[in-house]
Each structure stands twice: as C-alpha cells, then as structure tokens.
Structure 1
Amino acid sequence: MKFIYLTTELLIGFVLLFIIVKFVGKKIISQITPFTFIASIVLGELLGNALYDHKIGVLYIIYSVSLWGVLLFLVEYLGQKFLPFRGVSEGKPSALIKNGVVDREELKKNRMNLNQLQSLLRQSETFSIREVAFCYLEANGSISILKKTKYQKTTQEDFNMPIASVHVPVTLIRDGKVLRDELADLGVDEAWLQKQLNVQGISHPQTVFIAEWLKDDGLFVQTYE
C-alpha cells in the first residue's frame, strides 16, 4: 500500500510541476531573477517534503503546490502588465564599470568588493579591468561585459583602422512606457524623443514595444504591430 500511495503522490506531483512550468514559463528553470531562484527552491521543497511526510495527504500536496503555482503565475502576470511592479520583483542591472572606470558606489550598493568583481570578470574570460568599457551586474548575479574596441575579438587594429569610441545602447521606451531616468542620463527630454519617433512615423510612445538609442547608429524602434 505504501508503494501505491507513494506512486500516486509522485505522479500527481509530476503533473503539477509540469503544469506550473508550462504556465509560469521556462525562465523558472534558468532562474533569471532572484525571485524565480527562490520560487523554484521553495516549490521543490514543498513537493519533496510533502511526498515523504506520511502525515500529509494527497489533497495537501495538490493544495500547496497549486497555491504556490498560482502565486508564481500572478507575480509573472503583474510583472508583464505593470512596469513598476516588474522593477520591484525583478530588479535592475547595476553598472559596475562605466566608460572603463569602476563605479565604487555601485560596488558598495551591491555589497561587492574589487576582488569579487575581478573574479566575475575572469569567469567571463576577461583578465584585466582595462579591457572593459562597460560591465553590468544582472539581476541573477551574472555579469554582462562590453569590451573596449581594441580588445574585442575582431579589432580595428587588425586592419590598421583608427580606434572608434565604444557606446552602450540605452533603452528609452519599454512596453509602451517612456523611461525618464534613462532620458535624463542621456541628457535629453521627451520632446527630443518624440521628434525621433516622428522621423520613423510613430505618433505615440504607447505603441512602441521597445526603443533603443545608440550613438552613431540612432534610434532602433520595434512597435507592437
């Protein structure tokens, strides 16, 4: 009887996990954000502890895992619909290196020291800070690096070309919302942004899925249509 009962619980748990991953999304597996990392651990603990605790019945397993799945789905849904909520639940990347200069204040904010930064750089096959133009600490703890031009794999020095400046793309509109902080960092205003949109035949920022500015390359825009 114990084997039959355990088999039933395992089958139910398997089906519930399958449904949750399908509805919540594949990113719970890759643990893109701190929230999805914690959520996947708790989900595994809920199911694992329930399976091997004989005092907990099948109905309790269904209830606990289903409730946790509904909460996960709700958080993901709110994150898609409301940009401020997304910022709270997922966080924002931190620029640890800007224009080749380490931002010590950002290191302090993220409870990091220079040794830890260098360790993360080495894990990304970058062995000197002098190679880095921009370095971002992502929400999941990994880093993204944009190297200086002369340290990129295909360099202009190989072709005896003059070294060009490196610029980082700036997202100005995301999900139809104008990112005013990014506009301020760029030193422009919404009137300037609207002029750029008008050039591409776009009247309202609300129709824009994403707009990204890159110096010397202009504004890249993708609308909802």
Structure 2
Amino acid sequence: MDFLKIAFELVVGYIALFALTKILGKTQITQITAFDFISALVLGELVGNAVFDKDIGVREILFAVSCWCVLIFATEMATQKFKRVRKLLEGEPSIIIHKGKIVYNQLKKNHLDINQLQHLLRSKDIFSIRECEYALLETDGTVSAIKKSDFATPTRNDLSLPSQEIGLPITLVIDGEAIYDNLNAISKDLDWLKNELKQQGIPDIKNVLYAEWEKEKALHIQTY
C-alpha cells in the first residue's frame, strides 16, 4: 500500500471538506438537523472510501465532493425559497409541553421518553416539569422552554430597577501564562497584571490557573 499516496489523498480530502463547510455555512457543525447529519455522514464516507480505493485518485475525490456540494447547495436554496421543502427536509419544532401539560402524542411522535425530556429540561435549568409552562423540541434535538411565572427569574424591569451596562469578561491568564492580546484589548500591560496579582498575595503569574477581568470589578483569580 502506498502510504504517501494515502496521506496526500487525506490532505486533499481534508482541505476539500473544510472548504465545503465554509461554503455551506455553520449549520453543518451546529444546529444539525436530520438532513445535515446525513449530509455529514455521506461526505465522510465519500472521502473515506476514496482514500482506500486503489482505483480512485485525487480527481475522483474532488469530483465526488464537488458534486455533493452542488446537491447540498441546491437543497439549501430550495429550503430557503419553498416552505414545503423546508418542512420536509429540516422538519419543524414540536410543542411537547403546553400550559404545563406534557403533550404525549408529540413525545411519541418524536420518539422521546420522559427521562429524555427531563434531561433536556434540566439543561434549561428546569428540574421539575411542574415549573415548565411551554417546551418546544427544536429541529436540532434541543429544547426551548418557558418557565411558569411563579418560577421565572425576575428581570430588572420587573423590579423597576434602572438599566445596567453589561460588561464582557476578559480572560487574562490561563495555566500560568498571560494572554497579551487580551491585555492589550483592555489597554493594560504585564506590569499592571503583576501588580494586581501581588495585591492579592500572588507573587508569580505561574501560580495562577485562571484570571479574569471585568470592567469596574475586582480581578477574579484562581490559583492552583
């Protein structure tokens, strides 16, 4: 077996698949529907089988990936323009909890049992079905849920509090190493970081597992 040939074909297949993912967009990686899942499997099989077939070379790999790219792109265009095609290929969300009641028919239709439902709700910080008013099973298999008013977290607007600016936390140290790009982003330097660490009794950056900066807040530091 020609190992150099296999390696070359793998590299070509990798580049082709990467380019294809960029062309088709992020839905091949996230928000995977049933159609996207099948698409990803077929792409892997095309390249995988081609690599170990002695009669197939680089041209055949590129041709197969290109043909599949055209088919997927045409399908994506069709789902954008025609609602019926979109429903057939991508599916549609299903209401599995309606006004606090489990919609059993929808659970059965989507092959979802109660344990799986509980798991999905826990991922949305709902640990009891009695806390949930509505829940929708999305086309990618995740759940979107709305809590009952008695269990919902009050917002600042609910409490008549003034709006507050939201800051973005910036990571400054990971595994004992300072992240210089992030320091520059907040107009700080290494000397400032060392001084902040010394004020909290930490003599060396290497002692820091993680450090995070947020505007108008003290530096959050965790050591080993």
Query: Same fold judged by TM-score > 0.5?
Result: yes
In 1, the alpha carbon distance for the partners of 2:122 and 2:31 equals 22
Matches within 5 A, 1:9-20: 9-20=9-20
Q: Within 1, Cα distance between the matches of 2:126 and 2:98?
A: 16
Q: Note the alpha carbon deviations across 1:177-210, whole angstroms, 9 max, x for none.
A: xxxxxxxxxxxxxxxxxxxxxxxxxxxxxxxxxx
Report the CA distance shift for 1:102/1:24 in structure 2 as closer, same or farther (over 3 A). same
* Aligned twin of 1:48: 48
Q: What is the 5 A alignment of 1:54-133?
A: 54-133=54-133
Structure 2 counterpart SS, 1:135:
strand
Three-state SS of the structure 2 residue aligned to 1:84 is: helix
How far apart, CA to CA, are the structure 2 residues paired with 1:131 and 1:125? Answer: 10
How far apart, in 1, do the equivalents of 2:76 and 2:136 lie?
A: 24
Q: Deviations over 1:28-70 (max 9, x none)?
A: 1114311111211221121122123333222221222111111
Instruction: Tell me the SS of whatever aligns to 2:29.
Output: helix
The Cα of 1:153 is off from its aligned counterpart by 2.3
Q: How high is the sequence identity, in percent, across the aligned residues? A: 45
- Counterpart residue type for residue 108 of structure 1: K
| Equivalence for 1:21 | 21
Shift of 1:128: 0.3
The whole-number CA distance in structure 2 between the counterparts of 1:73 and 1:155 is 42
Structure-2 change in CA distance of 1:155 and 1:149 (3 Å): farther
Q: Does 1:33 find its partner at 2:13?
A: no
TM-score normalised by structure 1 residue count? 0.63
Larger Rg: 2
Quote the offset at 1:112 in angstroms: 2.2
Task: Specify which structure has the higher proportion of helix.
Answer: 1
User: In structure 1, what is the Cα distance between the partners aligned to 2:8 and 2:32?
Assistant: 32
**1: distance between equivalents of 2:27 and 2:125?**
25
Runs of 4+ in 1 over 4 A off after TM superposition: none
Report the aligned-residue RMSD. Answer: 2.4
Deviation at 1:3, TM superposition (A): 4.5
Secondary structure of 1:139's counterpart equals coil
Q: Could you tell me which amino acid in structure 1 is paired with residue 76 of structure 2?
A: E
Mapped partners of 2:9, 2:124: distance in 1: 43
| Matched length | 159
Hey, what's the Cα distance between the residues in 2 that align with 1:64 and 1:153? 52
Post-superposition Cα deviations, 1:105-131, rounded to whole Å, max 9, x if no partner, equal 211221222232122212332110111
1:154-196: CA deviation from partner (whole Å, max 9, x where unpaired): 279x95xxxxxxxxxxxxxxxxxxxxxxxxxxxxxxxxxxxxx
Query: Hey, what does 1:147 align to over in structure 2?
Result: 147
Structure 2: any 5+ residue segments left out of the alignment?
Answer: 160-224
Gaps of 5+ in 1: 160-225
